[in-house]
Amino acid sequence: SDTAIGIHDLSFATTEFVLPHTALADHNGTEIGKYHIGIGQQSMSVPAADEDIVTMGAAAAAPIIARHGAEGIRTVVFATESSIDQAKAAGVYVHSLLGLPSATRVVELKQACYGATAALQFAIGLVHRNPEHRVLVIASDVSKYELDSPGEATQGAAAVAMLVGADPALVRIEEPSGLFTADVMDFWRPNYRDAALVDGQESITAYLQAAQGTWKDYAEQGGRALDEFSAFCYHQPFTKMAYKAHRHLLNYCGHEVDEARVARDLGRTTAYNAVVGNSYTASVYLALAALLDQADDMTGQAIGFLSYGSGSVAEFFAGTVVPGYREHLRTEANREAIDRRKPVDYAGYRELHQRSFPADGGEYATPSQTGGPFRLAGLNGHKRLYERRR
């Protein structure tokens, strides 16, 4: 059918605390230029003791439910790679915190940072089957590497919620998609570990190979030419990675790498990721939020999306910006979510990083730190206890 389907609303949330890269550089003796310019990061969001993927996901989704109600939402898909349970979907807690109707299906999806794009595509399929149906897609992650490892500078945390439906108010998602899967060990997190393992240089190479592979398939599927796009939203583990990938793609397509063009294609997509850090599944959609919030009128323009998840799976697809989209943006709330974070010093960050729940799963009350609308109050009998504060 010709039904236009895509992103009807988009909202994001991040953490209570923020660690500036200057504090990390002071601790480990790194020249700050490596962080500010070399990887393109200014600061990273750090979760409070009583924040996690559920509280962030619920905080991102609550404004969407407040604006549109729950009507038509019969599916919630929660994408994450920093899951809190091996069996129960984190989205079930969010469903409860938001008071969604019981006549809902809820599921969690995983494939590293790619999961939210899978969720978006599955949501589009469901809406295609029934255009009355709306799907709430939530991408929420805490990126955590070992202290004093090279990955430490690329941590972060955030959640994006998207309402996917017919006649979307923001962005129509187009066919075709380019797809690419390769079995590589560039980044992974075995079940017994809380911090990810990564082969940094291998992960960059794997990302570039996947970008090229998914673009090749996109072209073969009859997608748009590179020149038709006004901007590109890449997965941004650190913002410099988008630049590396875009230059790689331009080269691969036989274009001269003109830096003015690269700046035009990417410059408006990095503002949120540069101060939030890696938000894994949410990252590519934070890039979209930054673009729509900052760009001059983009009505009718095509945006290219490059979603990459280590391991690895990648997808390239296009979206077109819908007339009137600006009335539906959440620019002020997005800026507020970033500006309200409280700076944490290095010692405070380290303490939060090393926190863990009692292994016996016994009764435990979490320190009250978050100023957000939801909190993880504690544990009891191996059960996580959440509360809505307002």
Where in the sequence numbering do the catalytic residues fall?
Answer: 81, 113, 235
Least distance in Å: CB of 301 to ligand CAA?
Answer: 26
Least distance in Å: CB of 219 to ligand CAA?
Answer: 22
Provide the angle, in degrees to the nearest 10, between the axes of the packed helices 200-220 and 239-252. Answer: 50
Backbone phi, psi, residue 276, to 5°: -95, -35
Least distance in Å: CB of 375 to ligand CAA?
Answer: 27
Residues near ligand CAA (CB under 6 A): 31, 33-34, 37-39, 113, 150-151, 153-154, 186-187, 198, 200, 203-204, 207, 235, 237-238, 241, 278, 280, 308, 310
Least distance in Å: CB of 272 to ligand CAA?
Answer: 15
Least distance in Å: CB of 106 to ligand CAA?
Answer: 25
Backbone phi, psi, residue 23, to 5°: -70, -40
Backbone phi, psi, residue 289, to 5°: -60, -45
Instruction: Give yes or no for a contact between 357 and 364, defined as CB atoms under 8 angstroms apart.
Output: yes
Closer to ligand CAA by CB, 146 or 174: give it: 146
> Nearest-CA neighbor of 319 among 278, 283, 339, 289?
289
Least distance in Å: CB of 300 to ligand CAA?
Answer: 30
Closer to ligand CAA by CB, 35 or 374: give it: 35
SS3 for the chain is CCCCEEEEEEEEEECCEEEEHHHHHHHHCCCHHHHHHHHCCCEEEECCCCCCHHHHHHHHHHHHHHHHCCCCEEEEEEECCCCCCCCCCHHHHHHHHCCCCCCCEEEEECECECHHHHHHHHHHHHHHHCCCCEEEEEEEEEECCCCCCHHHHHCEEEEEEEEEEECCCCEEECCCCEEEECCCCCEECCCCCCCCEECHHHHHHHHHHHHHHHHHHHHHCCCCCHHHEEEEEECCCCHHHHHHHHHHHHHHCCCCCCHHHHHHHHHHHCHHHHHHECCHHHHHHHHHHHHHHHCCCCCCCEEEEEEEECCCEEEEEEEEECCCHHHHCCHHHHHHHHHCCEECCHHHHHHHHHCCCCCCCCCEECCCCCCCCEEEEEEECCEEEEEECC
Q: Tell me the C-alpha distance between 283 and 271, whole Å.
A: 11
Least distance in Å: CB of 10 to ligand CAA?
Answer: 20
Least distance in Å: CB of 328 to ligand CAA?
Answer: 28
> Which pairing describes strands 374-380 and 383-388: parallel, antiparallel, or unpaired?
antiparallel
Closer to ligand CAA by CB, 9 or 186: give it: 186
Shortest-Cβ-distance residue relative to ligand CAA: 38
